Structure 1
Amino acid sequence: MTHGAPRTATGPPRTATGPSRTTDGPPRTTVSAWRPPVPGIAEVFHAHFTEHAYPSHTHDTWALMILSDGAVDFACDWHRHGVTGSDTVVLLPPGVAHDGRTVTAAGFRKRVLYLDATVLPEGLTGRAVDGPVFGDEVLRHRIHLLHGSLGHPGDAFEAESRLSFIRERLRSHLDALRTPRRPGREANRLAAALRELLDARLPTGLSLQEAATVLHAHPTHLIRCFKQTYGLPPHAYLTGKRIERARGLLLDGRRPAMVAAAVGFHDQAHLHRHFTRHVGTTPARYAAGLRRPPS
């Protein structure tokens, strides 16, 4: 249990650093994460990975990413994309499965803004799936400046203003893309119903047979419909949602043991294993920077 009221991190913490890489040791990872006092921004995430592969997962937020250096290969809704260069911007929409992995020995450095789903209209999700990568030097520079203002708690008004111009430019890119593909109506209906059920039962979970009984569908048909609609199987979606909820609670200052129980993991070790696989660092290291003064 935490002692006293949960504390929200509102400034950039010191970097949480993984072990240095040796010949037989694990790769070096550095991660910083915080929640700024800026409407529309759910989380700021800076990371350097030399060897990491994100499993397929979803977010409730828009993920807006730029690279400082290196290269990334990722899939969004089954389509793979490669990202390099300093003028490239990646926008991943809410609720759409994606992964990511390093492609060179040097790895990559990235800066990500997780934007509330309300920052961009839900109707633009399909277009973002069709075109998640923008070669836009002006947009990239605006995002770079926004990250700079987010490093100073007193500059929230400046950051909010910069976000407004970024949102406007993202809208112009998405509006120019073609109409998105439409999934099958029956598959979409069953997948959406299962997704609502999983979201409602996030802390407690449910068995596949129970879900099939509630939704009056065969278990394997449910899985196929869900994967066809969202790009990943139901169990992977549930794990990803729990990790996303865990990140929020850790940013609130909750201890990893409490977080594990609150989001539905069996124990802290269970959270540790999946969190490290998804985020590239352990829950303890992710939270460690939040207990130190901002740098």
Structure 2
Amino acid sequence: MSNHADEVQLWKTPLHGVECYAAQLYRHRFDKHFHDEYTIGMNRSGTGQCIHQGQRHYHHPGSFNCINPSEVHTGEVASHSDRWFFQNIYITPSALRQILTQLDQSAQSQLPCFSQMVVDDPSLQQAFQRAFCSLIDVSAGTLAQQTTLLHFLAQLLSRHLRPPAVNHPARREYQAIQQVRAYLEAHCAEAITVEELGSLVHLNPYYLIRCFHKQVGLPPHRYKQQCQLIKAKHSLNEEAAIATVALRCGFYDQSHLNRAFKKAYGLTPGQYRKAHR
């Protein structure tokens, strides 16, 4: 095992809904989690691996990681590598919708989805690096940051999006799981029982858990905790003490929040808050 320490850094950029993140990992393992933003990252050195939608993927230098919001995934250094260095740009759905308008691609009613998680497109590497470096450079200026980001996204989105989905009548179970997800998101800070969820959608609790896990990639209690973490991320932009944020978001105490936050994002709530100051 390497004696090197894992290093992560988060930047809040001047562009609304856009953040940057870099990680040099040796030992840390991201447990199953999801983001409420689009994740667009480039792998710089070493090799990473993850489980995404039930399949194992490897992230080799020069490849891109394109993850849609709410898609469950893990992340760690690949077993045959000693490290994994990657850089991510996070973009909220509302920010991407605005970007699509700027790119004159706003005609579609649905937000886009990437067609695959690992993208091999060497021609995008330079454009990504220019955008990333500009976004984290406080002296770059908004115009340069917007220009380099738009230039990169215009190429990425034109080549690697999934065709718009055709709406089909949804099965009862699919609709039930969507309803349960919405309920967990709205009530994530509260105590919830499986009987409560089963009664909500008129499904047997055990059958509901199986359907939920199969469709979402996490059991309901793990999905609820991810919603709590996202709620905590947003709350950390406010002035409340971290211990207060933990209780408001349904964690037992600050230590409980710290452990879950570090496991999911690779940094503590305090480090996340500092990056947003």
Q: Which moved more, 1:234-243 or 1:246-255?
A: 246-255
Q: CA deviation at 1:244?
A: 2.5
Structure 1 residue corresponding to 2:65, chosen from 72, 83, 90: 90
The answer as to whether partners of 2:12 and 2:275 remain within 8 angstroms in 1 is no
Could you say if the C-alpha distance between residues 106 and 253 of structure 1 is closer, same or farther in structure 2, counting changes exceeding 3 Å?
farther
Q: CA deviation at 1:79?
A: 1.8
**2:12 equivalent to 1:35:** yes
**What are the Cα deviations for residues 134-171 of structure 1, in whole angstroms up to 9, with x where unaligned?**
11122222111111111223422211122222222222
**What are the Cα deviations for residues 83-137 of structure 1, in whole angstroms up to 9, with x where unaligned?**
1122x11100012111111115532111111111141674533xx2x51121112
The answer as to whether partners of 1:131 and 1:177 remain within 8 angstroms in 2 is no
User: Which of the pair has the greater relative contact order for Cα pairs under 8 Å at 6+ separation?
Assistant: 1
1:124 counterpart residue number: 112
**What does 1:236-251 correspond to in 2, within 5 Å?**
236-251=222-237
The amino acid that maps onto 1:161 is T
Q: Distance in 2 between matches of 1:176 and 1:238?
A: 28
2:32 counterpart residue number: 56
1:173 counterpart residue number: 159
SS at match of 1:153: coil
1:9 counterpart residue number: none
Structure 2 residue corresponding to 1:46, chosen from 22, 40, 46: 22
Q: Please give the TM-score of this superposition, normalised by the length of structure 2.
A: 0.84
**2:122 equivalent to 1:134:** no
1:99 counterpart residue number: 74
**What are the Cα deviations for residues 169-188 of structure 1, in whole angstroms up to 9, with x where unaligned?**
222223477979x8962221
**What does 1:1-295 correspond to in 2, within 5 Å?**
28-41=5-18, 43-86=19-62, 88-103=63-78, 104=80, 106-118=82-94, 119=96, 122=110, 124-125=112-113, 128=114, 130-154=115-139, 155-175=141-161, 185-252=171-238, 254-288=240-274
Q: Distance in 2 between matches of 1:246 and 1:84?
A: 32
Could you say if the C-alpha distance between residues 39 and 280 of structure 1 is closer, same or farther in structure 2, counting changes exceeding 3 Å?
closer
Q: Distance in 2 between matches of 1:30 and 1:227?
A: 32
Q: Distance in 2 between matches of 1:185 and 1:158?
A: 47
The answer as to whether partners of 1:44 and 1:114 remain within 8 angstroms in 2 is yes
Could you say if the C-alpha distance between residues 191 and 244 of structure 1 is closer, same or farther in structure 2, counting changes exceeding 3 Å?
same
**What are the Cα deviations for residues 235-283 of structure 1, in whole angstroms up to 9, with x where unaligned?**
1112122223323333556542122123221111110121121122332
The answer as to whether partners of 1:187 and 1:228 remain within 8 angstroms in 2 is no
User: Structure 2, unaligned stretches of length 5 or more?
Assistant: 98-107
The answer as to whether partners of 1:63 and 1:112 remain within 8 angstroms in 2 is yes
Q: CA deviation at 1:197?
A: 0.2
The amino acid that maps onto 1:95 is S
Task: Provide the aligned C-alpha RMSD in A.
Answer: 2.7
Could you say if the C-alpha distance between residues 215 and 225 of structure 1 is closer, same or farther in structure 2, counting changes exceeding 3 Å?
same
Q: Distance in 1 between matches of 2:199 and 2:163?
A: 40
The amino acid that maps onto 1:65 is G
**What are the Cα deviations for residues 6-39 of structure 1, in whole angstroms up to 9, with x where unaligned?**
xxxxxxxxxxxxxxx75xxxx6121211321213
Could you say if the C-alpha distance between residues 67 and 253 of structure 1 is closer, same or farther in structure 2, counting changes exceeding 3 Å?
farther
Identity %: 24
Number of residue pairs aligned between Structure 1 and Structure 2:
262
Could you say if the C-alpha distance between residues 30 and 223 of structure 1 is closer, same or farther in structure 2, counting changes exceeding 3 Å?
same
Q: CA deviation at 1:220?
A: 1.3
